[in-house]
Amino acid sequence: MRREPSCGRVVIEADDPYAGVDVIDDGPLIGVRRVIADRLGEAHRNVVPVTLHRELRAPVPGPRPYDGLVFAVVRALVDQPALNAAFASGRLRTFGEVNLGVAFDGPQGLVAPVIRGVHDMTYRELVAARRELGARVQDRRLALSDLVGGTFTVSNLGTLGVQHFTPVVNPPQVAILGVGAVRRVVDRSHMPVSLTFDHRVVDGAPAARFLVRVQHHLDNLQGGTAHL
């Protein structure tokens, strides 16, 4: 493979299986995209994934459904720390603080930067931190240090109309929650969620109880967030 200086196009050598195919770009993965590729490869090789699906009810009146869900997830992780953990080199670490990875579709592809110390944040502080992080993703202002140290991840494809999907655990974390498109049923907003966990270290029952706690904390948001 070589790049033709006169036109900037990639030229494929004759013995390449893609010889004769118009290639726009060709090069090694670097930076954030390389980190993403390495982690997904590790997940495919090592994690034993199991996914639970459930539909959650958002409170009415109350916060915007996804904002409320993220806050409820953090509170549920405090209640159920078995999912707020990391597993690597045969050692399982369960954490007393929640550093939440939040997946974004940015200019560099899918990234899940970390908001640290969310267990100590109020609802409003968490919403503001997530929005500020999203702006940094779009402006390409992430550092590699923003992508490490997470204890749990939330990924939302509902904004793109996806109803259900199976999220991939972000090693060494042991669980991730995928969120689908919100739909209205009578006077309620309903959110399909998919919890993928590493069955090597998390069993189905505690994972199911975690989703029960998420719903519990969503119900506690009934009436709004003025007190949060």
Each residue of 30-71: pLDDT tens digit? 877 787 788 888 888 999 999 999 999 987 666 788 999 999
Residue 214 sits at φ, ψ, to 5 deg, of -60, -45
Q: Which residues are catalytic?
A: 199, 203
pLDDT at residue 223 is higher than 70: no
Of 197, 171, 174, the closest CA to residue 95 belongs to: 174
All structural domains of the chain with their residue ranges: 1-46, 49-219
> Locate tokens 């793109």: which residue?
160
Cα of first residue to Cα of last residue in the chain, in angstroms, is 57
Q: Among residues of the chain, what percentage have pLDDT more than 90?
A: 63
Quote the tokens at residue 14: 């004759």
Q: According to the model, what pLDDT value does residue 226 have?
A: 44
List the Cα angle 38/41/42 in 5-degree steps. Answer: 85
Q: Structurally, what CATH architecture does the domain formed by 49-219 represent?
A: 2-Layer Sandwich (3.30)
Q: Quick: pLDDT tens for 121-139.
A: 999 999 999 999 999 999 9
What pLDDT digit, counting tens, does each position of 137-151 carry? 999 998 888 989 999
How far is the C-alpha of 80 from the C-alpha of 106, rounded, in Å? 31
- Does residue 171 have a cis bond before it (omega within 30 degrees)? no
